[in-house]
C-alpha cells in the first residue's frame, strides 16, 4: 500500500516540475472566510534623533495589506524635519494614505502620517524603516493584515487633533462609513507621556507604546465609526481611523525566502478565499535558477548547482469562482561567507585525509598494520 502511495506522489511531483503552466489541482486547501484579521503588529519608539529609524523584526507572513502610523516632530534641534518615505527589507513600495499632518501643542508640535501597502511581499523576518529629512525622535506602529481587499486603498479618516493649546482625556476622530465585516484600526498619538484605555468595544494592541496607542475591532454591521480612546489625564493628541474591507476575490500573498547554495528550502504558498472555498494553484512563471518539487501549497525549492543570487516564481490561487492576484515568491540564494567556505573546505580536507589514511592502512601488509 505504501509503495502505491509513494508512486502516485512521485508522479504528482513530476507533473508539477514538468508542467508548470497548468492548473495544479492539489489536495484541496480550505481557506477561512472571515473579516480581515491582524496577522501581526510591531511598535517602535526611539527618543534618539536619527534620520532613519528601523523597527525590530516581525512576521508578516500571509498579510494582504500593511498599514503604518508614523509620528515625529516638524522641527528638532533647530532643523526642519519631514517624513520623506517608508521602506522595508522586502522591497515593498509604501504609499501615503493620510498626512503628513501637523498639530501644535503646548510642549511639542507633532507631525504624523499613515502609509500602506496592498499585496506586499511578506516574510518571517520583516523590518520597516522610516526615513526623515533630518535626525529626530520617532514613533511608529505597523500592522500586518490578512484577508483584506487589495483592489483599492483602505478607507480612512484624516489625521485630526485638538485645537491649538487645548487638552482632553477623551479622544475621538473624524468618523468613516464602512460595510459590515470591516477591520478598524485606530491610533492615538499623545503629546507627552500618558496611559490610555480603548473604548466602544475596541481592543488595545499590545505593541502600543507610551506615545502611540493602537486599537482595533471588527464591525458586525455597516455604519459610521470613529476612534475612541480615554487617557488617564487631559493631554494634547492626534488620532485617525483606517477601515480594511473584506476581500471580494481570492487574495494570494507574496513572500520572500532565503537559502544557501545547494540547500533546498521549504515554501508554503498562502492565499485566502472570500467564500471559504477550497483553493487550487497555478504557476505563472519561473523559477529560472532552480526547481520546484512537492504538491502545492507545500513546495520545496532547490537551487541549481553552485548558483548564488536572486530567483523568483509567480503563482495564482483559484477558488472555483475567480482567480486571485498574481503573487510572487522572491528567493535569495545567498553566497556563503568566507568563514562558511573555510569551514566547508576544512571538512572536505578532513574527510579526504581520513579516506587517504584508511586506504594507506589497507594497502599495508598485515605484518605492518597497527591501530
What CATH number is given to the structural domain containing 16? Answer: 2.60.40.10
What whole-number distance in Å separates Cα of residue 247 and Cα of residue 250?
7
To which residue does cell 475612541 refer? Answer: 228
Please name every residue paired with 214 in a beta bridge, in sequence order, or none if there are none: 187
Nearest to 25 by CA among 352, 320, 286, 272: 320
The pLDDT-based confidence of 274 (bands split at 50, 70, 90) is confident
Mean pLDDT throughout 286-311?
95
Nearest C-alpha neighbor of 199 from the set 221, 216, 219: 216
Cβ(188)–Cβ(240) under 8 Å? no
Regarding whether 284 and 193 lie in a shared domain, the answer is: no
Instruction: Verify that 187 and 307 share a domain, yes or no.
Output: no
Look at residue 144 and tell me whether its pLDDT is greater than 70.
yes
Q: Report how many domains make up the chain.
A: 2
The answer, yes or no, to whether residue 9 has pLDDT greater than 80, is: no
Task: Kindly state the helix (H) or strand (E) to which residue 103 belongs, with its residue range.
Answer: strand 95-104
- CA distances, 175 to each of 149, 157, 241 (Å): 20, 7, 8
Q: How confident is the model at residue 272 (pLDDT cuts 50, 70, 90)?
A: confident
Residue pair 255/330 in contact (Cβ under 8 Å)? The answer is yes
* Closest residue by Cα to residue 184 from 153, 156, 162: 156
Of the three residues 224, 244, 264, the one that is the final residue of a domain is: 244
Instruction: Say whether both 232 and 308 belong to one domain.
Output: no
Tens-digit pLDDT profile for residues 101-138: 999 988 899 999 999 999 999 999 999 999 999 999 99
pTM: 0.79
Among residues 182, 214, 244, the one where a domain terminates is 244
Residue 111 is placed in which grid cell? 507631525
Amino acid at each position: 500500500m505504501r509503495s502505491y502511495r509513494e508512486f502516485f506522489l512521485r508522479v504528482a511531483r513530476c507533473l508539477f516540475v514538468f508542467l508548470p503552466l497548468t492548473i495544479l489541482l492539489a489536495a484541496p486547501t480550505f481557506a477561512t472566510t472571515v473579516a480581515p484579521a491582524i496577522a501581526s503588529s510591531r511598535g517602535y519608539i526611539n527618543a534618539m534623533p536619527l534620520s532613519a529609524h528601523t523597527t525590530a523584526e516581525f512576521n508578516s507572513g500571509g498579510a494582504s495589506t500593511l498599514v503604518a502610523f508614523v509620528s515625529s516632530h516638524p522641527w528638532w534641534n533647530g532643523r526642519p524635519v519631514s517624513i520623506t518615505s517608508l521602506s522595508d527589507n522586502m522591497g515593498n513600495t509604501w504609499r501615503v494614505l493620510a498626512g503628513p499632518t501637523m498639530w501644535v501643542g503646548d510642549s511639542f508640535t507633532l507631525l504624523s502620517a499613515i502609509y500602506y501597502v496592498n499585496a506586499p511581499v511578506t516574510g518571517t523576518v520583516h523590518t520597516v524603516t522610516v526615513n526623515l529629512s533630518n535626525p529626530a525622535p520617532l514613533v511608529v506602529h505597523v500592522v500586518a493584515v490578512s484577508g483584506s481587499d487589495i483592489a483599492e486603498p483602505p478607507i480612512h479618516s484624516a489625521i485630526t487633533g485638538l485645537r491649538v493649546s487645548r487638552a482632553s482625556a477623551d479622544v475621538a476622530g473624524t468618523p468613516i462609513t464602512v460595510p459590515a465585516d470591516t477591520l478598524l484600526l485606530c491610533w492615538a498619538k499623545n503629546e507627552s507621556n500618558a496611559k490610555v484605555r480603548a473604548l466602544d468595544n475596541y481592543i488595545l494592541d499590545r505593541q502600543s507604546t507610551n506615545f502611540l496607542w493602537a486599537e482595533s475591532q471588527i464591525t458586525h454591521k455597516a455604519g459610521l465609526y470613529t476612534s475612541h480612546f480615554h487617557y488617564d489625564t487631559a493631554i494634547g493628541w492626534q488620532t485617525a481611523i483606517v477601515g480594511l474591507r473584506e476581500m471580494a476575490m481570492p487574495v494570494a500573498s507574496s513572500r520572500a525566502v532565503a537559502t544557501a547554495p545547494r540547500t533546498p528550502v521549504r515554501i508554503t504558498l498562502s492565499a485566502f478565499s472570500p467564500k471559504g472555498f477550497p483553493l487550487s494553484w497555478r504557476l505563472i512563471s519561473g523559477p529560472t535558477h532552480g526547481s520546484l518539487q512537492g504538491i502545492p501549497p507545500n513546495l520545496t525549492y532547490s537551487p541549481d548547482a553552485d548558483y548564488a543570487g536572486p530567483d523568483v516564481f509567480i503563482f495564482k490561487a483559484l477558488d472555483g469562482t475567480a482567480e486571485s492576484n498574481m503573487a510572487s515568491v522572491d528567493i535569495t540564494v545567498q553566497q556563503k561567507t568566507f568563514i562558511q567556505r573555510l569551514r566547508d573546505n576544512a571538512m572536505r580536507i578532513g574527510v579526504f585525509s581520513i579516506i587517504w589514511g584508511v586506504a594507506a592502512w589497507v594497502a599495508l601488509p598485515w605484518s605492518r598494520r597497527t591501530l
